[in-house]
Structure 1
Amino acid sequence: MEQEFYLGLAQRVRAIAERADPFTRRRLLDLAKRYDAKGSPTARSGAAERPLPVPRTTPPISTFTGPGEA
């Protein structure tokens, strides 16, 4: 479903680019290429996803929380 969304956006952006001036057309076509890349089945292989952050380690809880008797 997400693929169809991005491919639809690429198609709409190309339609707008047909009526635009050369500078804007070039930028819109570049945008359409990016949408095509996001919508392609190979783009969903996980390469675009960020890795999970490394879990934080906390120091071990001391069994002695305050001054105690020896």
Structure 2
Amino acid sequence: MDDDFRKQHAKLVRDLADQAADPFIKRRLQDLASRYEINRRTTPVTPLDLEIANPARKPDGASER
């Protein structure tokens, strides 16, 4: 998602929150909008070394049955 997409969706969700009669729904929509805004300000995630989490790889010294 690019910055324009997040900015537009945050505004749309905030507008919906302003119209919500139910306080629970209003709070949830405001939380969602803030998540769009937070994601817009964060840096890209660094890639993980997936070999560490590979369950097929056996640790050294482990025997196979």
Q: Structure 1 length as normaliser, TM-score?
A: 0.62
Larger Rg: 1
CA deviation vs aligned residue, 1:18-51 (integer Å, no higher than 9, x gap): 11121100000000000001112xx1x23x4551
Q: What is the number of residues matched between the two proteins? A: 53
Structure 1: segments with no counterpart, 5+ residues: 58-70
Give the match for residue 34 of structure 1. Answer: 35
What displacement does 1:4 show? Answer: 1.2
**Residue identity in the other structure for 1:10:** A
Structure 1 stretches of at least 4 aligned residues deviating more than 4 Å after TM superposition? none
Segments of 5+ residues of structure 2 without an aligned counterpart are 58-65
The answer as to 2:6 corresponding to 1:6 is: yes
What's the TM-score, normalizing by structure 2? 0.66
